[in-house]
């Protein structure tokens, strides 16, 4: 009995620490390639599955949910959903996953309230209350409406609410914003950002939009051609040049964490601190001094110098060390990575400039940042 108790306590502790692991080792034939993915994902908050269209992202999610005849193994913590070797294949309706589809898939014959109650009636213990979910997603005004009378953004809000009400152990969001225009996206993103944590559901978030991934996900799994190419903390994964080459024509940029030091109302600037060096950004009053802000710096806004420049309009100059330099013969540009106090900046300069300056990995350089933008 005491052993039982310890086991339960350990599990509870693990859950509260967010240490629930999703074990995936699956194979699925997909048109012209195989989805083949073996990863152990620590499900802590939102984990992104990122990659170009056709990389097998949705197929991976559908395999986890039990909608595809994948073979191999899928387990969430101690809960084994698929183990082909042991003859285990738990059908989709008995896997505790909530799936939010790109096209919402509300039941058209039920009202919004009917859709939500459909989920609530079939929920497991510990499910959030109907009223809490309706309030959190601002659905009260929609309850009597038919799904056909909703806008795309409203549909996705209802779909998210329906999924939350079922209280799944794992939330799978399959490009929930892909069908929306950017204004609608901006409406939904805050909900996607706040609610999985608020209702205590670890989340896998599929997207091919790097800004969504950077904003929402603590960790990112990169998928290309049906294979996992990288997994780790989002900022680190998205900085890798090999990941950026997989991801296709995305704009090279980095996310850095910087602490807010003060607001300068006269010049309308917010000052941040990155590795002991100040950065000026356009004033952002929503950030309190002392808070950690996520800042995006695009490679094309970063120049490099081998000596600290003076008499320059660019205010943000960082001393760092060149850690990576990739030049391709068929491109005029070279991509460089600079380590600044443990954070990585990326610079896009011409190959000609790189040769003129005699840049080489390991050199001390100065990164000149022309502009930065806040990322949430």
Partner 1 sequence: METDAIWLTFRLAGVTTLALLVLGAPLAWWLARTRSAIKPVIEAVTALPLVLPPTVLGFYLLILFNPEAPIGRLWVQLSGDTLTFSFEGLVAASILYSLPFMVQPLQSAFTAVGRAPLEAAASLRAHPLDAFLTVAAPLAGRGFLTATVLTFAHTVGEFGVVLMVGGNIPGETRVVSIAIYEQVETLRYADAHALAAALLTFCAIALLAVYAANRKFPTHVG
Q: Identify which of residues 72 and 98 has a Cβ nearer to partner 1 in the complex.
A: 98
124 binds partner 1 (CB under 8 A): yes
184 binds partner 1 (CB under 8 A): no
Residue 15 neighbours by CB under 8 Å, 6+ apart:
none
Give the x-and-dash track for 41-80 against partner 1 (CB under 8 A).
------------------------xxx-------------
- Choose which of 20, 23, 28, 101 interacts with partner 1 (CB under 8 A): 101
Cα–Cα distance for residue pair 256/244, rounded to 1 Å: 17
Q: Identify which of residues 127 and 210 has a Cβ nearer to partner 1 in the complex.
A: 127
- Choose which of 118, 231, 366, 374 interacts with partner 1 (CB under 8 A): 118
**Choices 115-123, 134-142, 315-323, 327-335 (CB under 8 A): range interacting with partner 1:** 115-123
125 binds partner 1 (CB under 8 A): no
92 binds partner 1 (CB under 8 A): yes
Cα–Cα distance for residue pair 356/372, rounded to 1 Å: 27
Of the CA atoms within 13 Å of residue 54, those in its CB half-sphere come to 6
107 binds partner 1 (CB under 8 A): yes
User: CA 119, 123, 127, 131 torsion: positive or negative?
Assistant: positive
Among residue numbers 319 through 338, which ones bind partner 1 (CB under 8 A)?
Answer: none
Terminal alpha carbon distance of the chain: 48
Q: Identify which of residues 158 and 247 has a Cβ nearer to partner 1 in the complex.
A: 158
98 binds partner 1 (CB under 8 A): yes
Contact of 177 with 156, CB cutoff 8 Å: yes
- Choose which of 157, 162, 185, 215 interacts with partner 1 (CB under 8 A): 162
Contact of 335 with 243, CB cutoff 8 Å: no
Beta-bridge partner residues of 195: none
Q: What is the largest CA-CA distance in the chain?
A: 74
Q: Identify which of residues 92 and 250 has a Cβ nearer to partner 1 in the complex.
A: 92
148 binds partner 1 (CB under 8 A): yes
126 binds partner 1 (CB under 8 A): no
Apex CA 130: angle with CA 126 and CA 132, to 5°?
85
Distance of CA 148 to the CA centre of its chain: 30
Q: How many residues bind partner 1 (CB under 8 A)?
A: 28
231 binds partner 1 (CB under 8 A): no
Q: Identify which of residues 166 and 345 has a Cβ nearer to partner 1 in the complex.
A: 166
144 binds partner 1 (CB under 8 A): no
Taking CB atoms within 8 Å and a gap of at least 24, the contacts of 193-201 are 193/376, 194/136, 195/136, 195/137, 195/160, 195/164, 196/45, 196/46, 196/171, 197/45, 197/46, 198/136, 199/128, 199/133, 199/136, 199/164, 199/167, 201/98, 201/164, 201/167, 201/168, 201/169, 201/170, 201/171
- Choose which of 1, 17, 86, 109 interacts with partner 1 (CB under 8 A): 109
**Choices 16-24, 104-112, 185-193, 275-283 (CB under 8 A): range interacting with partner 1:** 104-112
Q: Residue 234 belongs to what H/E stretch? A: helix 234-239
286 binds partner 1 (CB under 8 A): no
Chain residues binding partner 1 by CB under 8 A are 65-67, 91-94, 96-99, 101, 103, 105-109, 118-119, 122-124, 148, 162-163, 166, 168
């Amino acid at each position: 009995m005491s052993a039982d108790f310890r086991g339960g306590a350990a599990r509870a502790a693990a859950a509260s620490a967010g240490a629930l692991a999703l074990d995936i080792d699956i194979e699925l034939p997909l048109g012209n390639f195989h989805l083949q993915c073996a990863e152990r994902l620590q499900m802590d908050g939102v984990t992104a599955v990122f990659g170009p269209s056709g990389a097998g992202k949705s197929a991976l999610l559908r395999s986890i949910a039990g909608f595809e005849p994948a073979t191999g193994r899928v387990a969430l913590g101690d809960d084994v959903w698929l183990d082909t070797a042991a003859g285990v294949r738990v059908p989709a309706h008995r896997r505790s996953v909530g799936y939010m589809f790109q096209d919402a898939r509300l039941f058209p014959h039920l009202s919004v309230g009917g859709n939500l109650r459909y989920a609530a009636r079939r929920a497991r213990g510990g499910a959030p209350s109907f009223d809490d979910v309706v309030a959190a997603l601002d659905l009260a005004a929609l309850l009597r409406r038919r799904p056909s009378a909703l806008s795309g953004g409203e549909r996705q809000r209802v779909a998210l609410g329906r999924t939350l009400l079922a209280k799944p152990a794992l939330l799978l969001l399959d490009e929930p914003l892909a069908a929306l225009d950017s204004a609608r996206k901006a409406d939904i993103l805050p909900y996607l950002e706040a609610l999985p944590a608020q209702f205590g559901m670890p989340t896998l978030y599929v997207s091919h939009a790097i800004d969504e991934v950077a904003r929402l996900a603590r960790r990112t799994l990169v998928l290309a051609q049906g294979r996992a190419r990288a997994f780790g903390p989002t900022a680190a994964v998205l900085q890798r040049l090999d990941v950026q080459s997989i991801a296709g024509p995305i704009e090279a940029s980095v996310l850095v964490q910087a602490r807010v030091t003060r607001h300068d109302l006269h010049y309308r600037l917010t000052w941040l601190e990155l590795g002991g060096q100040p950065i000026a950004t356009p004033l952002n009053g929503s950030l309190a001094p002392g808070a950690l802000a996520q800042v995006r710096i695009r490679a094309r806004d970063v120049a490099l110098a081998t000596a600290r420049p003076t008499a320059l309009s660019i205010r943000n100059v960082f001393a760092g060390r060149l850690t990576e330099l990739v030049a391709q013969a068929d491109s005029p540009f070279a991509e460089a990575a600079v380590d600044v106090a443990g954070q990585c900046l990326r610079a896009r300069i011409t190959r000609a400039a790189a040769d003129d300056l005699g840049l080489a990995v390991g050199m001390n350089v100065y990164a000149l940042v022309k502009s930065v933008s806040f990322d949430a």
